[in-house]
Chains A and B, each alone.
Chain A
Amino acid sequence: MQIVVNGKAQEILSECTVFQLLEDKAVTLKAAVVELNGIILKQEHWQSTLLQTSDSLEILVFMGGG
């Protein structure tokens, strides 16, 4: 199914949790922030949240900044 990740369309398998997606993308789980459809998704819910068609995810981390 199709979802949007960081503004780009992406195909994923059905039955994919947020946690699995992050793992697949090799994101450092400790330091990431996730926003699902405009709402912050806390870490404790990553494993239990299944992605749906047309979901929009923002996966953010801290970078250098002033």
Chain B
Amino acid sequence: MFYEQITEWQQRLPASSWASFSRVDVERVLARETLRPQDLAILLSPAALSYLEPMAKKAQALTIRHFGRTIGLFTPLYLANFCSNSCLYCSFHAGNEIVRCKLTVEQALKEGEAISSTGLQHLLLLTGESRTQSGPAYIEECVRALRPMFASLGLEVYPLSTEEYRRLYEAGIDSVTLFQETYDEITYAEVHPAGPKRNYHYRLEAPDRACEAGISSVNIGALLGLSDWRRDAFYSALHADYLQKNYPGVEVSISVPRLRPYAGSFNPTAAPVTDEALVQIILAYRLFLPRAGLTLSTRENPQMRENLLPLGITRMSAGALTSVGGYSETDNLGSAQFEIADERSVPDVVQMIRAKGYLPAFCDWVNMRKVQ
């Protein structure tokens, strides 16, 4: 399983390695067609900072070659924000006094209609981790209800068993998003002091279970800034590579969420992820994984999103809300998970994408499977 690679590379790539790479190493990597993990590490190291422009050129060319000049669009729909975890960095933390809410199926449908009227065809369904409030059965009900309205439904909830993924796959989910948050076990334990999310391995192996259940697209990543970003970016990319190699039929994508302001008082000890660092991460991901999707959410502000777009991004959210309710007149029933930095509407995002010379793709996958 992937954990073996983490232990292997922890030994081969101690903290002191980052400073040991030189400009010559970076140039050698840029001359290569196919990159190995050690090359990925070099691209994430301080030495690569002086090479962002050549990295960007190569990344842009690779992305256009493999994905064309298209950007897939989607938006999240938070069905519920009840949560039994106490993640230090998240608004949904069980101890936080926020407005908790769960949409009824009817409300979810209304939200879906509002979203669908913008033209968006790919919807990502989210809940907090609460098996009592938003258990698999509830999720399945919502999936079945929303299925006819969208070409493809994705799921970003707590880790499920293979059987649960299978049921949801049959109900109409074809993509699963799950972030490991951090691949560093020590930080992971620190920021997840209570709740089922404490189980590092169960979460780490969830994408495998989803793939085994038939899910045809998985999206992974670390929450950059929780722990040392170089290490987390390294393991995120390695994880994506592992999934591509072990599940060749599955489309693998990687996201680059940076820690954002939220309700709570968590202050990470790790260095913050500067804009430069974020660019470096995106470029390293693209060069190491020429065929993986790269997803950018509305955690980033409009200028950043515009500037990052040509560097390897293949999917973006648009017109997003992270509150429970709010798309239709079911107005902001439950508190938001994080602050949206790019609040532009779908038409505005579409215009921006076009202005950059890219084609916004409202639909690039149609789930043709009959609902079981």
The reply, when asked whether chain A contacts chain B directly with Cβ atoms under 8 A, is no
